[in-house]
């Protein structure tokens, strides 16, 4: 039996089934993305300058040109899909096929550009927050062994595993050069263990330990446990071997020069080789450092550049004077005392340039603020107007990190004990990045889903075209509606995430 | 049924025109965000720039919705569905206004400091 109104429209509504269905679906999608946009606005206007982590301006932390190209690519794909529908209405299969191939090429290009952006954020851009709340933006470098210097490099002599803890993860962090042929000697026995046998050996002992502990508890409950004759099950074992461990600091609960205590209850003993972070510096963010404390921030000791320090402090003094004059009663909102973001190359290479009065590659002045309610003027304008609430945006790196061809890239050594937070520009870096990845990631999944549906029409639609071309035209129209919606979401995402 | 050639020709013209317009408006969006001469209002990002950017985005999305998604000549039932959608979406945005009266904001605004 044929389903009615698949091709011809109903007389009462004037619509075929799929069209009503897809518009209902799109209505629900509007609520999905609307909720996310609403959350974004809520989080953004709720950020308190000087108290919360600064909200970066998209224009300074995003690959804006990549986003621009992606916008054009999606617009082109929208045009292509509507021309594909027209070709079906004209009963021209080959023309339809060509336009649809164009749509799929555009969607693939979009995802490739998106993956390049994500890769850049996750692997090439980092922020190091120091203990005085100043934030250094740049790239974590590798050492001569090719190991990222945010790892704790440790020469291990022994590892004590706890069978009541989690499966040890230290083995994945052993240096590549030491992995080949590595054997552990089990302390107190003649047995040895190869690296690949570690997990199996651990799980076997874990089962034995947990069984023993269950029996012990059972005896204790019954009152038949004799501490003199009954022994508690062995819950730990020590493995002896010498190897280099490049430990992930997020998996360490505490450490000193000779011991690493990991979160899975493994204890590694040996000697600390290095925990200093080698960092290619791009920017210094003093937004969390009150103006009056900027003289002694840790960043100056690390970069050892008096020129930068003098420029920034000169700008600071100007601002303090303006602020004092403006707020005569001495009552000053916290956000007014918010420090600047310094693009290191601009301030370093332009003698006499002010900390956030320099110009970046985009012709915008630094010290631009984000649109907070009482904001906000750049420092340059502040001199003319009033020294109002000023929040400079994050100026970490633009297009990105490697585009400073004329500059000598400064590398600083950051002692680990002076850091409070080290991150890439992934979701954990802050609310802005979290919502950026959520929204663009969800949008990307919609692109993939839409492309799969349109690909189905391209590769399997010929049969339906020969049988009932109007039916195929309706399906493509409906798939195209979804595709246009995806384009529509990106039309809003691009300016909000990349330019504001 | 197959559409008439004249009908399709006029469709194609409008789609091409809208496609070009979208490209131009995208360039305008980029210029508004990036290029100093297009920086309206107070220098740097302020509410003028944000409003302008969103207005351009609304114009672009209207073109997509009306022309590409055929909303300029759609049936009444679709509009009825979308009215509800629009109202719910507006409510989501309006909800944020209630956060303005959040007491914790007043506490932050009341933080005092003095310069030595």
Distance (Å) from the C-alpha of residue A90 to the closest C-alpha of chain B?
Answer: 6
Report yes or no: A66 at the B interface, CB cutoff 8 Å: no
The phi and psi torsions of A95 (rounded to 5 degrees) equal: -65, -45
Segment A344-371 mean pLDDT: 40
Residue A252 has pLDDT above 60, yes or no: yes
pLDDT bucket at B116, cuts 50 / 70 / 90: very low
pLDDT bucket at A318, cuts 50 / 70 / 90: confident
| In contact, A425 and A125? CB cutoff 8 Å | yes
Q: Is residue A4 included in any domain, yes or no?
A: no
Residues A103 and A212 in one domain: no
Distance (Å) from the C-alpha of residue B46 to the closest C-alpha of chain A?
Answer: 5
Residues B44 and B32 in one domain: yes
Residues B7 and B53 in one domain: yes
Mark which of A275, A302, A319 sits at the end of a domain.
A275
Residue A349 has pLDDT above 60, yes or no: no
Mark which of A385, A409, A424 sits at the end of a domain.
A424
Q: What angle do CA A411, A416, A422 make, to 5 degrees?
A: 80
Which of A275-289, A349-363, A405-419, A480-494 comes out lowest in average pLDDT?
Answer: A349-363
pLDDT on residue A268: 97
Report yes or no: B107 at the A interface, CB cutoff 8 Å: no
- Average pLDDT of chain A to the nearest whole number: 84
- Going A136 to A139 to A143 to A145, the CA torsion angle's sign is positive
Of A51, A64, A377, the CB nearest to B44: A377
In angstroms, the CA A142 to CA A151 distance is 10
Report yes or no: A495 at the B interface, CB cutoff 8 Å: yes
pLDDT bucket at A365, cuts 50 / 70 / 90: very low
Residues A177 and A215 in one domain: yes
Name the DSSP letter for residue A355. T
Report yes or no: A395 at the B interface, CB cutoff 8 Å: no
Bridge-based pairing state of the strands A410-414 and A277-285: antiparallel
Q: Is residue B116 included in any domain, yes or no?
A: no
ipTM of the complex: 0.87
pLDDT bucket at B50, cuts 50 / 70 / 90: confident
Instruction: Show the domain range for B49.
Output: 1-73
The phi and psi torsions of A266 (rounded to 5 degrees) equal: -80, 140
pLDDT on residue A13: 82
Distance (Å) from the C-alpha of residue B38 to the closest C-alpha of chain A?
Answer: 11
In angstroms, the CA A246 to CA A270 distance is 13
- Chain A residue numbers with beta carbons less than 8 Å from the beta carbon of B88 are 31, 34
Token readout for A399 is: 């297009």
pLDDT on residue A127: 93
Q: How many domains does chain B fold into? A: 2
pLDDT bucket at A360, cuts 50 / 70 / 90: very low
Q: Is residue A10 included in any domain, yes or no?
A: no
Residues B4 and B55 in one domain: yes
pLDDT on residue A299: 87
pLDDT on residue A273: 95
Residue A118 has pLDDT above 80, yes or no: yes
Q: Is residue A347 included in any domain, yes or no?
A: yes
Residue B82 has pLDDT above 70, yes or no: yes
Residues A117 and A192 in one domain: no
Q: Is residue A12 included in any domain, yes or no?
A: no
Report yes or no: A91 at the B interface, CB cutoff 8 Å: yes
Q: Is residue A486 included in any domain, yes or no?
A: yes
Say whether B47 and A34 touch across the interface (CB within 8 A): no
Residues A362 and A344 in one domain: yes
Mark which of A251, A275, A299 sits at the end of a domain.
A275
Residues A197 and A266 in one domain: yes
- Chain A residue numbers with beta carbons less than 8 Å from the beta carbon of B116 are 292
Residues A173 and A233 in one domain: yes
Distance (Å) from the C-alpha of residue A264 to the closest C-alpha of chain B?
Answer: 38
Say whether A68 and B5 touch across the interface (CB within 8 A): no
Residue A394 has pLDDT above 60, yes or no: no
Instruction: Show the domain range for A115.
Output: 17-125+428-499
Which of A278-282, A433-437, B110-114 comes out lowest in average pLDDT?
Answer: B110-114
Of A68, A86, A385, the CB nearest to B11: A86
Residues B65 and B100 in one domain: no
| In contact, A451 and A106? CB cutoff 8 Å | no
Of A333, A492, A494, the CB nearest to B109: A333
Report yes or no: A330 at the B interface, CB cutoff 8 Å: yes
Q: Is residue A77 included in any domain, yes or no?
A: yes
Taking phi over 0 as left and psi of -120 to 50 as alpha, with beta for the rest, A430 belongs to left
| In contact, B60 and B102? CB cutoff 8 Å | no
Residue A243 has pLDDT above 60, yes or no: yes
Residue A69 has pLDDT above 50, yes or no: yes
Residues B6 and B35 in one domain: yes
pLDDT bucket at A404, cuts 50 / 70 / 90: very low
In angstroms, the CA A495 to CA A471 distance is 37
Report yes or no: A39 at the B interface, CB cutoff 8 Å: no
């Amino acid at each position: 039996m044929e389903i009615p109104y698949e091709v011809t429209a109903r007389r009462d509504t004037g619509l075929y089934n799929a069209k009503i269905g897809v518009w209902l679906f799109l209505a629900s999608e509007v609520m999905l993305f609307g909720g996310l946009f609403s959350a974004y606005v809520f989080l953004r206007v709720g950020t308190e300058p000087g108290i919360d982590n600064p909200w970066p301006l998209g224009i300074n932390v995003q690959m804006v040109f990549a986003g621009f190209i992606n916008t054009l690519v999606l617009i082109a794909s929208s045009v292509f899909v509507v021309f594909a529908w027209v070709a079906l209405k004209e009963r021209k299969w080959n023309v339809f096929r060509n336009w649809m191939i164009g749509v799929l090429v555009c969607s693939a290009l979009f995802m490739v550009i998106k993956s390049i952006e994500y890769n850049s954020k996750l692997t090439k851009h980092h922020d190091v927050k120091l203990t005085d709340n100043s934030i250094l933006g740049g790239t974590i470098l590798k050492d001569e062994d090719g190991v990222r210097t945010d790892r704790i490099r440790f020469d291990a002599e022994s590892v004590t595993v706890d069978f009541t803890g989690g499966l040890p993860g230290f083995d994945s962090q052993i240096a590549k050069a030491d992995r080949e042929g590595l054997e552990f000697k089990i302390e107190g026995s003649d047995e040895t263990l190869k690296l690949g046998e570690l997990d199996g050996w651990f799980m076997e002992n874990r089962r034995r330990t947990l069984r023993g502990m269950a029996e012990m508890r059972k005896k204790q409950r019954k009152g038949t446990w004799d501490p003199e004759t009954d022994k508690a099950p062995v819950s730990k074992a020590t493995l002896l071997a010498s190897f280099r461990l490049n430990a992930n600091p997020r998996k360490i609960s505490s450490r000193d020069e000779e011991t690493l205590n990991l979160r899975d209850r493994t204890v590694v003993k040996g000697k600390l080789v290095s925990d200093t972070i080698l960092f290619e510096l791009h920017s210094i963010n003093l937004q969390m450092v009150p103006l009056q404390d900027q003289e002694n921030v840790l960043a100056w000791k690390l970069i050892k550049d008096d020129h930068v320090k003098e420029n920034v402090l000169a700008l600071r003094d100007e601002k303090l004077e303006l602020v004092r004059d403006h707020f005569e009663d001495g009552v000053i909102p916290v956000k007014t005392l918010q420090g600047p973001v310094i693009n290191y190359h601009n301030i370093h290479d332009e003698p006499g340039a002010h900390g956030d009065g320099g110009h970046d590659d985009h012709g915008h002045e630094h010290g631009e603020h984000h649109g907070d309610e009482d904001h906000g003027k750049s420092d340059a304008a502040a001199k003319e107007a009033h020294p109002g609430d000023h929040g400079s945006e994050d100026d970490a790196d633009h297009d990105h990190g490697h585009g400073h061809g004329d500059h000598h890239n400064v590398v600083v050594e950051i002692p680990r004990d002076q850091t409070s937070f080290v991150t890439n520009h992934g979701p954990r870096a802050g609310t802005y990045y979290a919502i950026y990845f959520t929204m663009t990631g969800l949008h990307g999944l919609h692109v993939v889903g839409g492309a799969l549906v349109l690909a189905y029409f391209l590769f399997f639609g010929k049969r339906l075209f020969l049988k009932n071309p109007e039916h195929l035209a309706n399906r493509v129209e409906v798939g195209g509606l979804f595709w246009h919606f995806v384009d529509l979401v990106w039309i809003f995402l691009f300016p909000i995430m990349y330019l504001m | 049924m197959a559409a008439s050639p004249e009908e399709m020709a006029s469709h194609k013209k409008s789609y091409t025109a809208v496609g070009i317009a979208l490209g131009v408006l995208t360039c305008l969006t980029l210029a508004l965000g990036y290029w100093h001469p297009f920086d309206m209002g107070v220098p740097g990002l302020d509410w003028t720039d944000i409003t302008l950017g969103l207005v351009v985005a609304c114009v672009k999305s209207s073109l997509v919705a009306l022309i590409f998604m055929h909303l300029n000549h759609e049936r009444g039932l679709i509009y009825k569905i979308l009215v509800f959608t629009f109202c719910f979406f507006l409510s989501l945005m309006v909800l944020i206004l209630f956060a303005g009266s959040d007491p914790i904001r007043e506490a932050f605004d009341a933080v005092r400091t003095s310069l030595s």
